[in-house]
Chain A
Amino acid sequence: MASISVPGAIAGQPARSKANYLNASSGFLSWAFTLDHKRIGVMYLVGIFTAFLLGGLFALLVRTELLTPGPTITTHDWYNRFFTLHGAIMVFIVIIPGIPAALGNFALPIMIGAKDVAFPRLNLASFYMWVIGTLFAISTLAFGAVDTGWTFYTPYSTKYAFNGMIPVVAGAFILGFSSIFTGLNFIVTIHKLRAPGMGWFGLPLFLWSLYATALVQILATPVLGITLLLLLVERTLGVGFFNPELGGDPVLFQHFFWFYSHPAVYIMILPAMGVMSELISVFSHKHIFGYKFIAFSSVAIALLGFLVWGHHMFVSGQSNLVGMIFSAITFTIAVPSAIKVFNWLATMYKGSISLNSPMLYALSFMWIFGIGGLTGLFLGTMATDVHLHDTYFVVAHFHYVMAGTIFVLFGGIHYWWPKMTGKMFNEPLARLSCLLLFVGFNVTFFTQFMMGSHGMPRRYYNYPAQFQMYHQISSAGSYIMGLGVILMVGYLLHSLARGRKAPDNPWGGATFEWRTSSPPPVENFHEQPVVDDLYDYEKLFWDEQAGGYVRREVPDGAARPAH
């Protein structure tokens, strides 16, 4: 959509070529060697969603195994491999790259009015590194798989675990490079390719969060890379880094691992919070409340995220003083997180809220992340953590936090789907799918809070009969979620074939991507958009004829019509 406003009329619709980034060229090679950030984003999305389905399948296998105590569908060895693969795939392959690599790649350059990212070739390279890392990780199934859990704790991983350890660790190492390259590309792109006149405080909040995430990615991921490299060296050459028998220190591995993996939680959550700011504002049709607070809280979360890894290790033998310090810093992270949540609430207050499917996902996130954050207080407090450590309470807590990200990823996919594909999906089915996921998720994991607080340890194949009811309810919830995901895949694929043509601006967004056609042309814009307030919805009006929102100057004294 043209950005030059025409008073009292629909913004100019100059004759445009029908070429867009999807149909500008065709054939496998045109996708395989593309340098277009949008195509790379779409390829990431397809890959990540496929990996999500695989990780979800392993989750369903785990939950099915736990329907009864003792053997149900498999042996304890394979059960261990199932939950390890579920965790490793979901964390390293799906959630960490999910929003930045898929949605960020698609949206970032358009949102700053650029034609592409700063380093398109590096972007493609990082996608292929993601593919290679993923193939390495999944190839573990052929090598006996891995049974260490996604944390790869030593010396179990270096001495005892199955042979799949080497490919999975190599895979995570390669995925780390993909993550670093993406972060690097985003930082340079935001610095150098912003549209003329777009200052730092004119950036959409999603991009502030991507910038903060990119900093964490670049700073923290090398720590994981070096740690995994040391683990590989220990496993293959017998050099004693972590194995006490070889003079190593297993607790050092935990320090290294969590020094990355706790910030990794923010690599997952920060982009989700960025998407949330967009969704809440757009679907409340109201200017975002506390722009600068939200922007700076992203940076604050990114920085504080580096200082709290020790709360994963309260029972590892670290001193009480160190534990107390980590505990105290952990609590401080609640401040910037709460700033965001309260600003979203304030944005919604007196807003004209549309309960479209992306907004439903956003509201689900607020519920889920709220519970995830509050239960984090129990685990961040040393005294209660000792009781709850390594129980299902922890499992439920981190699922509430991490899967919150998945909810936003789904919200973001629905939000940008019309822009990506040029097609609208079936909205009632989308709402039903969101409902199934929300209900299924809470049934699955709220139950786990209860059994965890009663002492059910995580990762166990067998359990006392008193926990069977909890496990069965939890498994039933996971099947409901599975149904929701299958439904989602169904209507999204259906929309590609039979979906209604998407208007340029179906939701009423004010950021640049809604000012270009759906799907966007190869170079993103027909005309360079003019920078103004990207959260100002006063100029957006619903247009029946276009089937979406259009930009007009508000006539003097005219009331703004609401859709």
Chain B
Amino acid sequence: MARDKGLKAQRARRPLAATSLAAKPGIPRALCPFIPLSLAMLLTFAGSVQAQIADRVPRELENVGIEQKLDAQAPLDLEFFDENGRPTTLRKLMDGKPAILTLNYYGCPTLCGEQLNGLLRTLKDMSWRPGTKFHILTVSFDPLETATLASAKKDAYLGELGDPSAAAGWHFLTGRKPSIEALTQAVGFTYKWNADQMQWAHSAATIILTPGGRISRYLGGLYNDASTMRLSLVEASEGRIGTLYDSLFLWCFHYDPDRNSYAPVAMNIMRLGGGVTVAAIALGLLSLWLFEMRRRRMAAALAG
């Protein structure tokens, strides 16, 4: 598959530019007395300078990250390739179910492996399997990666999961640059090639999509507990999956991004308690009134 051949040029390691002070033409001698003074000033302001350095994002990570675009529409009709190299779309794969979207690349030596291992751990803790209630879309954002690589990755993870039935629900995809860029831009995922380290600089995001492809939730961290994942999927499914208990729970608990889990909502807990109380009293009083009316009718009948 001859895709994006030009991109290979990016990967050519470029030599570092020579930047040593000694190599530069000589410093004018007249400035020499100012050097100790400048050093003294530097020491004086070292504290503030250090603080500025600490606050600054490393150059390698500039323009890398995730901008949350909650409720934005993910483009589901872009062309990607499944593990067998067959063209497909996210919409076809999702099959009207909510989905977990992860953006990785299969040659990633660090973060992607950790993230997918975390997802695997979550799946092992969950009673639901991919394909039944939801799908997992693992999309490589490296346009040079091939379906062979994706297939190998899928075999490895499904083997680890120990459930062959999940093959129909966890999709490892590759794609061309325009599709990848359209998808990553839509979900707010920015990444860039680090030529020094020959790696993609990127962050990890687990994105939950509704059956219609809207972004319902960004789950932070490399591992999410099973209940958080389950509730996120129930929430994203708009009532199509999950039990009544799940829906009730979601009414009282909302996702707290600071803690990366579901936290209780005082107001809704109170509403639920109030509603149950009022309903119980209404039922109780109604039955009392009905009983009393029946007693009165019977007494009247006996008297008559």
Contact = CB atoms under 8 A, between A and B. Distances in A.
B292 A247 contact: no
Interface in A190-223: 191-192, 196, 215, 218-219, 222-223
Contact of A192 (B256, B270, B274, B288): B288
A240 B256 CA distance: 11
A135 interface: no
B267 interface: yes
Nearest to B273: A226
Interface string A499-527: 00000000000000000000000000000
A248 B285 CA distance: 36
B258 A227 contact: no
Interface of A is mostly: helix
B291 A230 contact: no
Contacts of A187: 284-285, 288
A479 interface: no
Contact of B270 (A215, A227, A248): A227
A242 B256 CA distance: 15
Nearest to A221: B277
A241 B266 contact: yes
Contact of B292 (A191, A215, A248, A252): A191
B288 A191 contact: yes
A188 interface: yes
A341 interface: no
Q: From B274, B277, B284, name the one whose CB has the most chain A CB atoms within 10 angstroms.
A: B277
Interface string B130-157: 0000000000000000000000000000
A226 B292 contact: no
A560 B292 CA distance: 39
Query: For this complex, into which size category does the number of interface residues on chain A fall?
Result: 20 to 34
Interface string A163-200: 00000000000000000000010011001100010000
B264 interface: yes
Given A187-B285, A191-B292, A239-B264, A230 B277 contact: no
B277 A222 contact: yes
Given A192-B288, A192-B292, A247 B263 contact: yes
A296 interface: no
A233 to B, nearest CB: 8
Main secondary structure on chain B at its contact with chain A? helix
Interface string B227-258: 00000000000000000000000000000101
A187 B274 CA distance: 19
A226 B269 contact: yes
A78 interface: no
B49 interface: no
Contacts of B264: 230, 233, 239, 241
Contacts of A239: 263-264
B263 A240 contact: yes
A192 B291 contact: yes
29 contacts: A184-B284, A187-B284, A187-B285, A188-B288, A191-B288, A191-B291, A192-B288, A192-B291, A196-B299, A215-B281, A218-B281, A222-B273, A222-B277, A223-B274, A225-B273, A226-B269, A226-B270, A226-B273, A230-B264, A230-B269, A233-B264, A240-B263, A241-B266, A247-B258, A247-B263, A248-B266, A252-B266, A256-B266, A256-B270
Interface of B: 256, 258, 263-264, 266-267, 269-270, 273-274, 277-278, 281, 284-285, 288-289, 291-292, 299
Give the 9 A-B residue pairs with the shortest CB-CB distance, closest first.
A241-B266, A191-B288, A226-B273, A222-B277, A230-B266, A226-B270, A222-B273, A218-B281, A252-B266
